[in-house]
Amino acid sequence: MIEKIFFTTKETANYLGISPTTIYRMEKKRLISSTRTPGGQRRFTRESIEKYLNTSHAIEAPQNPSRYKKTDLLIREVGTEYSTQAIQPRAQSFFELGSIRIYCADFLTTNAVDDDSIDLIVTSPPYNVNVKYNSHNDAVTYDEYLIFTRKWLSRCYKYLKADGRFCLNIPLDKNKGGQQSVCADITSIAKQIGFKYHSTIVWNEQNISRRTAWGSWLSASAPYVIAPVEVIVVLYKNEWKKASGSHESDISKPEFLQWTNGVWNFNGESRKRVGHPAPFPVELPKRCIKLFSFVGDTILDPFLGSGSTLLACLQTHRAGIGVDIDANYCATARERLILEKNRQPLI
Ligand SMILES: C[S@@+](CC[C@H](N)C(=O)[O-])C[C@H]1O[C@@H](n2cnc3c(N)ncnc32)[C@H](O)[C@@H]1O
């Protein structure tokens, strides 16, 4: 796949989550620069966009007061749309069980989650590997995928508390439809948004074989190298040391010793068993939750799928918020939570 070098004004606006008019104003103020096509149309290079993003925390994008004058509640963030969510009615939950809530909504637009309210995010977003989801296109261009990634990561950032953490389960590389360094690209977008990097856990999903192509068999001409692993990138907002919360940990000594070794070995989850095309096993969010949060903390999964993260919340006595765009997957998550609740001994 050829990486795009030049972006139109509309593409740049979409990428930054702001209007084309704002782009023109930014250009006038020399906050971003463009070149012109022979026909006089603006083209923005990836470099100039990244340069703006790297400095944009200190810069307010110029706003058109007539368009936004009623909205002193206006929220601006790099990588998401302008939002007047404070004046919209609060999202209705799809299901609630004690301190666990499911929202059937698009994470890019929902107002289900409050800013600065989340202790830990554990999630596995769509990987853009052509999984047949009910309500999401998992086969867009790599550039489009990174735009989507920037948008939802920006939302995650504002929802986290200052000492909030983020366990992001993503592929290491993409091998089908062009080689891509997915983990490196997403991590660098996260850092541009403001996330701080802590470490990367390698998950050796033992029952998965990703060997579909060898390239040039037994020849150095063009062999394919594939690591049959996924990763969990551990990020945080401002401070790694946790100040908020109950300060009660529920991790055992053997768990702590084993899980602080950053190579995790356990099987993937069966799609058929849980009724979802790309689930992770409950073991994954359970480890992240016990290692990185206190009992009673609030955990968010913006791509809930079959509800694995909320099952782990139920098992570990954390509050949980899960969002998924698809009502059938939300219903699957609800059924799994009810089953798990009925399975738990009465205290
Ligand atoms: C990799 S799956 C998550 C699987 C989950 N970890 C589990 O164990 O079942 C990604 C999920 O993201 C959901 N999704 C895709 N786009 C979304 C969006 N804009 N907002 C909310 N959910 C979305 C899909 O419906 C899908 O269920």
One DSSP character per residue, 244-268 reads SS-------HHHHHHHTSSEEE-PP
Per-residue DSSP letter, 86: G
Whether residue 314 is predicted with pLDDT greater than 60 in this model: the reply is yes
Q: Tell me the angle at which helices 46-55 and 9-16 cross, rounded to the nearest 10 degrees.
A: 30
Q: What is the rounded radius of gyration, in angstroms, for the C-alpha atoms of the chain?
A: 21
Which pLDDT tens digit goes with each residue over 54-98?
Answer: 665 444 444 443 333 332 223 333 334 434 344 578 899 999 999
Question: Lowest-confidence range among 93-107, 120-134, 168-182, 303-317?
Answer: 168-182
What is the average pLDDT score of the chain? 87
Q: Is the CB of 135 under 6 A from ligand 1?
A: yes
- pLDDT at residue number 3: 59
Residue 273: pLDDT band with limits 50, 70, 90:
very high
Which atom of ligand 1 approaches the CA of 277 most closely? 2
Place of tokens 């403001």: 194
Is the pTM here over 0.95, yes or no? no
Q: Is the CB of 278 under 6 A from ligand 1?
A: yes
Give the C-alpha separation, 292 to 162, whole Å: 14
Q: How far is the CA of 299 from the centre of ligand 1 (A)?
A: 16
Per-residue DSSP letter, 3: P
Q: Is the CB of 190 under 6 A from ligand 1?
A: no
Token digits for 178? 């062009």
Token digits for 150? 């920037």
- pLDDT at residue number 72: 29
Mean pLDDT, range 236-248, rounded to an integer: 97
Give the C-alpha separation, 213 to 177, whole Å: 12
Which pLDDT tens digit goes with each residue over 15-25?
Answer: 776 778 888 88
Q: Is the CB of 9 under 6 A from ligand 1?
A: no
Q: Is the CB of 35 under 6 A from ligand 1?
A: no
- pLDDT at residue number 76: 34
Q: In what order do the strands lie in the sheet with 6-7?
A: 6-7, 42-45, 35-36
- pLDDT at residue number 18: 73
Whether residue 120 is predicted with pLDDT greater than 60 in this model: the reply is yes
Q: How far is the CA of 307 from the centre of ligand 1 (A)?
A: 10
Mean pLDDT, range 187-208, rounded to an integer: 93
Give the C-alpha separation, 68 to 84, whole Å: 9
> What's the burial of 261, exposed, middle or buried (CB within 10 Å: 0-12/13-18/19+)?
exposed
Whether residue 36 is predicted with pLDDT greater than 70 in this model: the reply is yes
Which atom of ligand 1 approaches the CA of 329 most closely? 27
| Residue nearest (by alpha carbon) to ligand 1 atom 19 | 106
| Residue nearest (by alpha carbon) to ligand 1 atom 8 | 279
Which pLDDT tens digit goes with each residue over 222-231?
Answer: 998 888 899 9
Whether residue 171 is predicted with pLDDT greater than 60 in this model: the reply is yes
Whether residue 5 is predicted with pLDDT greater than 60 in this model: the reply is yes
Whether residue 160 is predicted with pLDDT greater than 50 in this model: the reply is yes
For each of the domains in the chain, give its residue range(s) and CATH number, in order of start: 6-68 (1.10.1660.10), 91-216+225-343 (3.40.50.150)
